[in-house]
Structure 1
Amino acid sequence: MSNDDGIQADQAPRPVGSYPHARRVGGLLLLSGLGPRDPQSNAVPGNVYDDNGLLDDYDIVAQTHSVFANVRRVLEAAGAQWEDLVDVTVYLTDMERDFAAYNEVWKEYFPDPASAPCRTTLGITALPTPIAIELKCTAAAR
Protein backbone atom coordinates (compact mmCIF):
# COMPACT_ATOMS: atom_id res chain seq x y z
CA MET A 1 0.00 0.00 0.00
CA SER A 2 1.30 3.48 -0.84
CA ASN A 3 0.45 6.85 0.62
CA ASP A 4 1.86 10.38 0.73
CA ASP A 5 3.97 9.52 3.79
CA GLY A 6 5.76 6.59 2.22
CA ILE A 7 5.16 2.95 1.45
CA GLN A 8 4.18 0.38 4.06
CA ALA A 9 4.26 -3.24 2.89
CA ASP A 10 1.58 -5.22 4.71
CA GLN A 11 3.38 -8.50 3.89
CA ALA A 12 6.77 -7.37 5.30
CA PRO A 13 7.83 -7.28 8.95
CA ARG A 14 6.78 -4.11 10.75
CA PRO A 15 9.55 -1.50 11.01
CA VAL A 16 11.22 -1.43 14.42
CA GLY A 17 10.92 2.36 14.53
CA SER A 18 8.88 5.23 13.18
CA TYR A 19 9.70 5.09 9.46
CA PRO A 20 8.19 3.73 6.24
CA HIS A 21 9.35 0.59 4.49
CA ALA A 22 10.13 2.69 1.43
CA ARG A 23 9.77 6.08 -0.18
CA ARG A 24 9.50 6.92 -3.88
CA VAL A 25 11.62 9.93 -4.93
CA GLY A 26 11.64 10.76 -8.62
CA GLY A 27 12.71 7.66 -10.50
CA LEU A 28 14.05 5.91 -7.40
CA LEU A 29 12.58 3.73 -4.71
CA LEU A 30 14.51 4.03 -1.44
CA LEU A 31 14.00 1.18 1.03
CA SER A 32 14.59 1.54 4.74
CA GLY A 33 16.90 -1.01 6.32
CA LEU A 34 15.28 -4.45 6.31
CA GLY A 35 16.19 -7.47 8.35
CA PRO A 36 15.23 -11.13 8.21
CA ARG A 37 12.36 -11.13 10.75
CA ASP A 38 9.40 -13.29 9.75
CA PRO A 39 6.45 -11.02 8.88
CA GLN A 40 3.87 -13.20 10.67
CA SER A 41 5.67 -14.34 13.82
CA ASN A 42 8.36 -11.63 14.14
CA ALA A 43 10.83 -14.48 14.81
CA VAL A 44 14.30 -14.39 13.29
CA PRO A 45 14.87 -17.46 11.09
CA GLY A 46 17.89 -19.48 12.16
CA ASN A 47 18.28 -17.92 15.60
CA VAL A 48 18.99 -20.40 18.41
CA TYR A 49 18.39 -19.30 22.01
CA ASP A 50 19.70 -20.83 25.23
CA ASP A 51 17.52 -21.80 28.21
CA ASN A 52 17.64 -18.20 29.47
CA GLY A 53 16.38 -16.79 26.18
CA LEU A 54 19.76 -15.38 25.17
CA LEU A 55 20.96 -15.71 21.59
CA ASP A 56 23.29 -18.71 21.40
CA ASP A 57 23.78 -19.12 17.65
CA TYR A 58 22.31 -18.13 14.28
CA ASP A 59 22.20 -19.30 10.70
CA ILE A 60 23.38 -16.60 8.28
CA VAL A 61 22.13 -18.58 5.26
CA ALA A 62 18.56 -18.74 6.66
CA GLN A 63 18.72 -15.05 7.57
CA THR A 64 20.03 -14.06 4.14
CA HIS A 65 17.24 -15.92 2.32
CA SER A 66 14.70 -14.33 4.67
CA VAL A 67 15.98 -10.77 4.30
CA PHE A 68 15.93 -11.17 0.50
CA ALA A 69 12.29 -12.33 0.74
CA ASN A 70 11.47 -9.25 2.84
CA VAL A 71 13.13 -6.93 0.31
CA ARG A 72 11.07 -8.58 -2.44
CA ARG A 73 7.87 -8.02 -0.41
CA VAL A 74 8.58 -4.31 -0.04
CA LEU A 75 9.52 -3.94 -3.70
CA GLU A 76 6.28 -5.63 -4.77
CA ALA A 77 4.20 -3.46 -2.42
CA ALA A 78 5.77 -0.44 -4.12
CA GLY A 79 5.02 -1.79 -7.60
CA ALA A 80 8.63 -2.74 -8.32
CA GLN A 81 10.40 -6.05 -8.92
CA TRP A 82 13.56 -7.78 -7.75
CA GLU A 83 15.22 -6.92 -11.06
CA ASP A 84 14.69 -3.20 -10.34
CA LEU A 85 17.31 -3.21 -7.56
CA VAL A 86 20.21 -0.93 -8.49
CA ASP A 87 22.18 -0.59 -5.25
CA VAL A 88 22.34 -2.64 -2.03
CA THR A 89 24.22 -1.90 1.16
CA VAL A 90 24.60 -5.01 3.33
CA TYR A 91 25.35 -4.86 7.04
CA LEU A 92 26.82 -7.99 8.65
CA THR A 93 27.44 -8.25 12.39
CA ASP A 94 30.25 -10.78 11.90
CA MET A 95 32.05 -10.24 8.60
CA GLU A 96 34.70 -12.89 9.27
CA ARG A 97 32.21 -15.63 10.12
CA ASP A 98 29.41 -14.78 7.69
CA PHE A 99 30.71 -13.13 4.53
CA ALA A 100 31.50 -16.27 2.53
CA ALA A 101 28.14 -17.97 3.25
CA TYR A 102 26.15 -14.78 2.64
CA ASN A 103 28.08 -14.20 -0.60
CA GLU A 104 27.12 -17.69 -1.83
CA VAL A 105 23.44 -16.95 -1.23
CA TRP A 106 23.87 -13.61 -3.03
CA LYS A 107 25.16 -15.52 -6.07
CA GLU A 108 22.00 -17.69 -6.07
CA TYR A 109 19.84 -14.57 -6.37
CA PHE A 110 22.21 -12.66 -8.66
CA PRO A 111 24.05 -15.27 -10.76
CA ASP A 112 25.16 -12.76 -13.40
CA PRO A 113 27.40 -10.06 -11.90
CA ALA A 114 26.79 -7.82 -14.93
CA SER A 115 23.07 -7.56 -14.15
CA ALA A 116 23.35 -7.60 -10.34
CA PRO A 117 22.83 -4.39 -8.37
CA CYS A 118 25.85 -2.50 -7.12
CA ARG A 119 26.74 -3.71 -3.63
CA THR A 120 28.62 -2.56 -0.57
CA THR A 121 29.07 -4.90 2.40
CA LEU A 122 29.98 -3.52 5.80
CA GLY A 123 30.95 -5.25 9.02
CA ILE A 124 29.27 -3.64 12.03
CA THR A 125 29.15 -4.45 15.73
CA ALA A 126 25.37 -4.68 16.24
CA LEU A 127 21.90 -4.15 14.81
CA PRO A 128 18.85 -3.01 16.81
CA THR A 129 17.33 -6.51 17.04
CA PRO A 130 19.00 -9.96 17.30
CA ILE A 131 19.74 -10.22 13.58
CA ALA A 132 23.03 -10.82 11.80
CA ILE A 133 22.21 -9.11 8.49
CA GLU A 134 20.34 -6.03 7.31
CA LEU A 135 19.93 -4.60 3.80
CA LYS A 136 19.50 -0.99 2.68
CA CYS A 137 18.33 -0.95 -0.94
CA THR A 138 17.69 1.42 -3.80
CA ALA A 139 15.60 0.37 -6.79
CA ALA A 140 14.34 1.94 -9.97
CA ALA A 141 10.75 3.08 -9.38
CA ARG A 142 8.04 1.94 -11.77
Structure 2
Amino acid sequence: MSASITGNDVIRVEGAPAPVGAYPHARRVGDLLFLSGIGSRVPGSNDIAADFEGQCRQVFANVRTVLEASGSRFEDLVDVTVFLTDMKNHFATYNRLYAEAFAGVDACRTTVEVNALPTAIAIELKCVAHVAS
Protein backbone atom coordinates (compact mmCIF):
# COMPACT_ATOMS: atom_id res chain seq x y z
CA MET A 1 0.00 0.00 0.00
CA SER A 2 1.27 3.43 -0.79
CA ALA A 3 0.24 6.88 0.31
CA SER A 4 0.45 10.14 -1.52
CA ILE A 5 1.27 12.92 0.94
CA THR A 6 1.16 16.46 -0.41
CA GLY A 7 2.94 19.50 1.00
CA ASN A 8 -0.02 20.38 3.22
CA ASP A 9 -0.08 16.86 4.71
CA VAL A 10 -3.16 15.69 2.80
CA ILE A 11 -2.99 11.91 2.50
CA ARG A 12 -4.52 9.70 -0.18
CA VAL A 13 -3.98 5.95 0.18
CA GLU A 14 -3.86 3.69 -2.87
CA GLY A 15 -4.89 0.53 -1.00
CA ALA A 16 -7.98 2.03 0.67
CA PRO A 17 -11.49 2.41 -0.76
CA ALA A 18 -11.76 5.57 -2.85
CA PRO A 19 -13.49 8.47 -1.10
CA VAL A 20 -17.09 9.01 -2.23
CA GLY A 21 -16.67 12.79 -2.16
CA ALA A 22 -14.14 15.59 -2.34
CA TYR A 23 -11.95 14.71 0.65
CA PRO A 24 -8.68 12.88 1.38
CA HIS A 25 -8.34 9.67 3.38
CA ALA A 26 -6.48 11.58 6.08
CA ARG A 27 -4.75 14.79 6.98
CA ARG A 28 -1.78 15.24 9.27
CA VAL A 29 -1.58 18.34 11.45
CA GLY A 30 1.47 18.39 13.70
CA ASP A 31 1.69 15.02 15.41
CA LEU A 32 -2.01 14.23 14.93
CA LEU A 33 -3.55 12.28 12.07
CA PHE A 34 -7.22 12.90 11.29
CA LEU A 35 -8.92 10.19 9.23
CA SER A 36 -11.97 11.04 7.15
CA GLY A 37 -14.94 8.75 7.66
CA ILE A 38 -13.89 5.30 6.47
CA GLY A 39 -16.49 2.71 5.56
CA SER A 40 -16.60 -1.00 4.93
CA ARG A 41 -16.31 -1.04 1.13
CA VAL A 42 -13.68 -3.44 -0.25
CA PRO A 43 -10.76 -1.53 -1.80
CA GLY A 44 -10.65 -1.79 -5.58
CA SER A 45 -14.07 -3.36 -6.07
CA ASN A 46 -16.20 -1.28 -3.69
CA ASP A 47 -18.08 -4.49 -2.81
CA ILE A 48 -19.83 -4.55 0.55
CA ALA A 49 -20.01 -7.68 2.71
CA ALA A 50 -23.51 -9.15 2.84
CA ASP A 51 -23.38 -9.57 6.62
CA PHE A 52 -22.66 -7.00 9.30
CA GLU A 53 -19.80 -8.99 10.84
CA GLY A 54 -18.01 -8.95 7.48
CA GLN A 55 -18.55 -5.19 7.24
CA CYS A 56 -17.02 -4.71 10.69
CA ARG A 57 -13.95 -6.73 9.81
CA GLN A 58 -13.54 -4.82 6.53
CA VAL A 59 -13.91 -1.35 8.05
CA PHE A 60 -11.31 -2.22 10.70
CA ALA A 61 -8.94 -3.42 7.93
CA ASN A 62 -9.57 -0.22 5.94
CA VAL A 63 -8.75 1.94 8.97
CA ARG A 64 -5.57 -0.06 9.57
CA THR A 65 -4.57 0.42 5.91
CA VAL A 66 -4.92 4.21 6.11
CA LEU A 67 -3.17 4.41 9.47
CA GLU A 68 -0.19 2.32 8.38
CA ALA A 69 0.18 4.11 5.03
CA SER A 70 0.20 7.38 6.98
CA GLY A 71 2.91 6.33 9.44
CA SER A 72 0.63 5.39 12.32
CA ARG A 73 -0.96 2.22 13.78
CA PHE A 74 -3.97 0.99 15.75
CA GLU A 75 -2.06 1.45 19.01
CA ASP A 76 -1.63 5.15 18.17
CA LEU A 77 -5.37 5.84 17.97
CA VAL A 78 -6.56 8.44 20.47
CA ASP A 79 -10.20 8.85 19.44
CA VAL A 80 -12.64 6.73 17.42
CA THR A 81 -16.15 7.77 16.46
CA VAL A 82 -18.30 4.96 15.10
CA PHE A 83 -21.45 5.47 13.05
CA LEU A 84 -23.94 2.58 12.92
CA THR A 85 -27.15 2.54 10.90
CA ASP A 86 -28.84 0.04 13.24
CA MET A 87 -27.72 0.37 16.86
CA LYS A 88 -30.35 -2.03 18.22
CA ASN A 89 -29.43 -4.95 15.96
CA HIS A 90 -25.72 -4.31 15.36
CA PHE A 91 -24.18 -2.84 18.52
CA ALA A 92 -23.49 -6.16 20.29
CA THR A 93 -21.75 -7.65 17.25
CA TYR A 94 -19.78 -4.48 16.58
CA ASN A 95 -18.78 -4.13 20.25
CA ARG A 96 -17.51 -7.74 20.37
CA LEU A 97 -15.52 -7.43 17.13
CA TYR A 98 -14.16 -4.00 18.11
CA ALA A 99 -12.86 -5.47 21.39
CA GLU A 100 -11.06 -8.21 19.41
CA ALA A 101 -9.63 -5.98 16.68
CA PHE A 102 -8.65 -3.11 19.01
CA ALA A 103 -7.31 -5.21 21.90
CA GLY A 104 -4.67 -3.18 23.71
CA VAL A 105 -5.81 0.09 22.12
CA ASP A 106 -6.79 2.67 24.72
CA ALA A 107 -8.53 5.12 22.39
CA CYS A 108 -11.58 7.08 23.46
CA ARG A 109 -14.65 5.84 21.63
CA THR A 110 -18.08 7.20 20.81
CA THR A 111 -20.75 5.21 18.97
CA VAL A 112 -23.76 6.90 17.42
CA GLU A 113 -26.66 5.75 15.29
CA VAL A 114 -27.32 7.51 12.00
CA ASN A 115 -30.20 7.13 9.57
CA ALA A 116 -27.95 6.39 6.62
CA LEU A 117 -24.39 6.58 5.33
CA PRO A 118 -23.33 7.78 1.85
CA THR A 119 -23.24 4.25 0.40
CA ALA A 120 -25.11 1.07 1.36
CA ILE A 121 -22.75 0.37 4.28
CA ALA A 122 -23.91 -0.15 7.87
CA ILE A 123 -20.78 1.10 9.70
CA GLU A 124 -18.24 3.90 9.33
CA LEU A 125 -15.34 5.00 11.54
CA LYS A 126 -13.88 8.49 12.02
CA CYS A 127 -10.53 8.38 13.80
CA VAL A 128 -7.79 10.54 15.24
CA ALA A 129 -4.33 9.06 15.84
CA HIS A 130 -0.93 10.18 17.04
CA VAL A 131 1.94 10.09 14.55
CA ALA A 132 5.52 9.98 15.74
CA SER A 133 7.57 12.97 14.57
CA distance in 1, matches of 2:109, 2:24: 22
- The residue type equivalent to 2:26 in the other structure is A
Partner of 1:132: 122
Partner of 1:118: 108
Runs of 4+ that moved beyond 6 A: none
Structure 2 length as normaliser, TM-score? 0.92
Partner of 1:78: 70
SS in 1 for 2:78: strand
Matched, 1:4 2:11: no
CA distance in 1, matches of 2:128, 2:41: 20
Partner of 1:106: 98
Structure 1, unaligned runs of 5 or more = 47-58
Structure 1 length as normaliser, TM-score? 0.86
CA distance in 1, matches of 2:102, 2:124: 17
Structure 2, unaligned runs of 5 or more = none
- Size of the aligned set, in residue pairs, is 128
Q: C-alpha root-mean-square deviation of aligned residues, in Å?
A: 1.1
Which of the pair has more CA radius of gyration? 1
CA distance in 1, matches of 2:66, 2:7: 16
Q: Deviations over 1:55-109 (max 9, x none)?
A: xxxx221101100000011011111111111100000000001000000001101
Matched, 1:18 2:17: no
Contact 2:12–2:25 (8 Å) recurs in 1: yes
Aligned residues with identical type, % of pairs: 55
